[in-house]
Amino acid sequence: MSCLHKRPKRTKSEEQVFLEKVRKIAQENGKRLGLEGDEDLQFLLVGGELVKIRSSSWKKNRFFKLQEDCKTFWHESHKTFKRNQTFSVDDIDSVRKGRQSEGLNKHTEPSVEEKCFSIIFKGRKKNLDLMAATEPEAKQWVNGLEKIIFNMRNLSRQQKRYVLSKSLHQNFSWIINCMRKADKNEDNKMTLKELKHFLRQINVEVDDTYAADLFKKCDTSNSGTLEDLEIQHFYNLLTQREEIDVIYGKFAVTEGQMSARDLLDFLLNEQREEASTMQDALKLIEKYEVDATAKQKKHMTKDGFLMYLQHEDGSILNPAHKNVYQDMNQPLNHYYISSSHNTYLMEDQLKGPSSTEAYIKALMKSCRCVELDCWDGTNGEPVIYHGYTLTSKVLFKDVIKAIKDYAFKTSEYPVILSLENHCSVDQQKLMAHHMISILGDALVTKPLGNTLPTNFPSPEALKGKFLIKGKRLNKLDAIFNNNNTLEEDTVSEEDEAADCKENGQKAKPKKSKIKLAKQLSDMVIFCKSVHFNGFEHAKDNLSFYEMSSFKENKAFNLADTSATAFMHHNMDKLSRIYPAGSRTDSSNYNPVPMWNVGCQIVALNFQTPSKEMQLNQGRFLPNGCCGYVLKPEFQRHLSSQFNPSTLTEGPWLKKKTFHIMVISAQQLPKINKDKHKSIVDPLVRVEIFGVAADNASKETHYIENNGFNPMWNERFQFDIHVPELAMVRFVVEDYDSTSQNDLIGQYCLPLTSVQNGYRHVPLLTKDGDVICSTGLFVHLMVIDAQ
């Protein structure tokens, strides 16, 4: 096997010892994952050949194998300088069985469907399209990968206990992996030189004297190396958290431990969980305590307390908001709806690739409104791309198939297909045919009842359904009065399409017309696109289902000059906001001012990692990440006179004081892993986004050369006027005196979903993926303003 070629030369006996050591490590890690003895895991550990597919002509055999850490995949490469390549399970977003990726669908035949699968990576890393020799092998690869991914993300309570009992700390496995990298001669011992390398691996810089002192303190056997319990002692010294010691010491007043009564005192007085009872305290002890003797006494040790703080109940996000908790029976226009712009694009809007993959990624992030720019294809089949540019094209029917397959995997609530239609009548008819044949009964093609509706149905009533947004030849009442016989007619193009193409894009008449096919028109029920002619005109002449799209510049101007009218408009109708055509790099505008005036479909470029997309992720983080968030009551009732710019008295004005203490961070990743000496100098910035009066930002000092356990203990205070619209964003950066700071991690959520007290804040990458083993530790308090 190719993977054996790179192994160091060993004698037969040395090889046996080595293989036994590898087997034991793999067994231990499999046990840690809850997959001890699992056949699929064993299959991955042995590995095998797969066909790697890049194009119809590039299909190469490559050996793939899971390494003994049970989280790194090795595969051979024929590149001169990359003979061995690896990727981490942490980097995998999902595994898709069959020919579900664009590459496999294009470059393989339907006959090999069951042999194919794709590994989809987070961020912009390219998919791995693979084919196994047989169907059972493909199934075993997929099953094994999915088990590891699932178990790594969702270690059960028992498995977490196992890790803790081995290490007295949740993140011991992360430390051990770093130790293995530092153990250059693989003898399971650490010399002083390896120790220094290890410290750099975990992002801690120490001077030689400190490293030597720490080493000497742990080397109780005076052997010149650390092994077994000495390594664990070293680890415990390294991970000691003074702030936890202080907090635990304050409340653990029963025999040196925290009794259930002590814990309840902590929950009520420090965490401000006013509804907590003794039963809640006992449940937390049962859930998180790792010491059987303490649990029997209904006590919580410091290790159990740390575990509680680092998990769901101790998170900044209210656990009650992790699932759908809002009323989902309100009319559709009473919700903010997670929405994307130019969904088909993977990169920029001038020459970037169009792909079904972009739709899948957006839908898997619970995006509930996707855009389809439809144009005539050369072979009679309509295509999707950014017109008048060099972006690549993708078949309309392939996009609809991808949407059908992935629309409801992360959310069961309705998906709106926003059509930008530039097609001839014949190809429009084919579009209608494809949507009917592929989406079937899930496609809403008539009102839900037998009478003309006067308001939107709710997300609950539309579960699992697709709504079409586009032009319609007549009013909805035509369905009920037999006035629905018009075959085709001329309508104006979408406002977005009619906008002059900017910055090198081919100019187009402002108010161009197209012929609209009846088949396509009849599919538009609750989202009929119309031109906006002012709020008064809309109020007097438009039905609730007639909606307008606003370019960002126009929308921001209306929000500035007519905020209350804009909000009232959105109480009755839907509004869609889209980025200006000048954003050829697919950058984004700030969505917050649009939410402030009640706009529902605030469309952003999902393909572009940005602060704006992070705010969008934060907005839709609560309510089960379902893509729908109920707007505040004052944005839903016509009596409201709310204006986000001029804050008069009203039910929206619920002044709060937000106290926050940034205490510490744990295991911040290096920004540039290739630079071994690049220890981060972290600082934390806390930002508030909401109405203009609430927008604010404050930051800590930076700490030199410590990304492992930096401590700030800095207090901030924010005055919040409209808490129901406020968002909190935490940003951790690597300070640089000569250039722009680099982002280490970020996290955003609505203020209304913040839990009081001592809380851990998970950190996400710029793309919104969780950074494992990393977090902030803060103390928060949202109280009524005096």
What pLDDT does residue 483 have?
A: 66
Q: How confident is residue 505, by pLDDT bands cut at 50, 70 and 90?
A: very low
| Neighbouring C-beta atoms of residue 756, cutoff 10 Å | 18
pLDDT at 702 over 90: yes
Please name which of 32, 71, 90 lies closest in space to residue 770, comparing C-alpha atoms: 90
- Rounded average pLDDT over 188-204: 74
Spatial separation of the C-alpha atoms in residues 124 and 208, rounded to whole Å: 40
Spatial separation of the C-alpha atoms in residues 687 and 718, rounded to whole Å: 10
Number of continuous H segments (helices) and E segments (strands) in the chain: 24, 30
Higher pLDDT, 206 or 750: 750
Spatial separation of the C-alpha atoms in residues 739 and 56, rounded to whole Å: 45
Q: How far is CA 103 from CA 26, 139, 178, 498, in A?
A: 33, 19, 36, 33
pLDDT at 6 over 80: no
- Give per-residue pLDDT as tens, 430-459: 999 999 999 999 999 999 988 899 999 999
- Apex 615 CA angle, 612 and 620, nearest 5: 130
Please name which of 480, 488, 474, 553 lies closest in space to residue 516, comparing C-alpha atoms: 488
pLDDT at 360 over 90: yes
pLDDT at 492 over 80: no
68-72, 243-247, 395-399, 758-762: which has the minimum mean pLDDT? Answer: 68-72
Q: How confident is residue 15, by pLDDT bands cut at 50, 70 and 90?
A: low
The pairing of strands 682-689 and 696-699 is antiparallel
What pLDDT does residue 2 have?
A: 36
pLDDT at 144 over 60: yes
What pLDDT does residue 340 have?
A: 97
What pLDDT does residue 501 have?
A: 43
pLDDT at 764 over 70: yes
Out of 4-18, 73-87, 570-584, give the one with best mean pLDDT.
Answer: 570-584
150-154, 576-580, 633-637, 722-726: which has the minimum mean pLDDT? Answer: 150-154
What pLDDT does residue 549 have?
A: 96
Percent of the chain with pLDDT over 90: 63
Q: How far is CA 641 from CA 98, 534, 539, 645, in A?
A: 54, 19, 17, 12
Spatial separation of the C-alpha atoms in residues 213 and 207, rounded to whole Å: 10
pLDDT at 169 over 60: no
- Rounded average pLDDT over 326-340: 98
Three-state DSSP class for residue 403: helix
What pLDDT does residue 57 have?
A: 92
What pLDDT does residue 195 have?
A: 78
Mean pLDDT of the chain: 87
Q: How confident is residue 35, by pLDDT bands cut at 50, 70 and 90?
A: confident
pLDDT at 205 over 80: no
Q: How confident is residue 605, by pLDDT bands cut at 50, 70 and 90?
A: very high
pLDDT at 729 over 90: yes
What pLDDT does residue 633 have?
A: 97
| Residues with catalytic function | 341, 386
Token reading at 258: 């925290």
Spatial separation of the C-alpha atoms in residues 291 and 190, rounded to whole Å: 30
What pLDDT does residue 165 have?
A: 38
What pLDDT does residue 506 have?
A: 44
pLDDT at 207 over 70: no
pTM: 0.86
What pLDDT does residue 9 have?
A: 56
What pLDDT does residue 181 have?
A: 67
Q: Are 198 and 234 in contact (CB under 8 A)?
A: no
Locate tokens 């799209």: which residue? 549
pLDDT at 580 over 50: yes
pLDDT at 670 over 70: yes
pLDDT at 478 over 80: yes
pLDDT at 494 over 80: no
Buried b (16+ CB within 10 A) or exposed e, 639-669: ebebbbeebeeeebeeebebebebbbbbbbb
What is the Cα gyration radius of the chain? 29
Spatial separation of the C-alpha atoms in residues 479 and 714, rounded to whole Å: 63
pLDDT at 671 over 90: no
- Rounded average pLDDT over 759-783: 93
Higher pLDDT, 1 or 456: 456
Q: How confident is residue 497, by pLDDT bands cut at 50, 70 and 90?
A: low
- Rounded average pLDDT over 553-561: 97
Please name which of 348, 372, 385 lies closest in space to residue 431, comparing C-alpha atoms: 372
Q: How confident is residue 236, by pLDDT bands cut at 50, 70 and 90?
A: confident
**Which residue ranges form the domains of the chain, and what is each CATH number?**
2-154 (2.30.29.30), 158-239 (1.10.238.10), 242-314 (1.10.238.10), 337-550 (3.20.20.190), 656-784 (2.60.40.150)
Ordered alpha helix ranges (H), 77-207: 102-107, 135-153, 157-167, 172-182, 192-201
What pLDDT does residue 175 have?
A: 60
What pLDDT does residue 177 have?
A: 64
- Give per-residue pLDDT as tens, 366-386: 999 999 999 999 889 999 999
Can you point out the beta strands (E) in 463-613? 466-470, 488-492, 513-517, 527-529, 546-551, 575-578, 601-604
Give the phi and the psi of residue 31 in degrees, each rounded to 5.
-65, -45
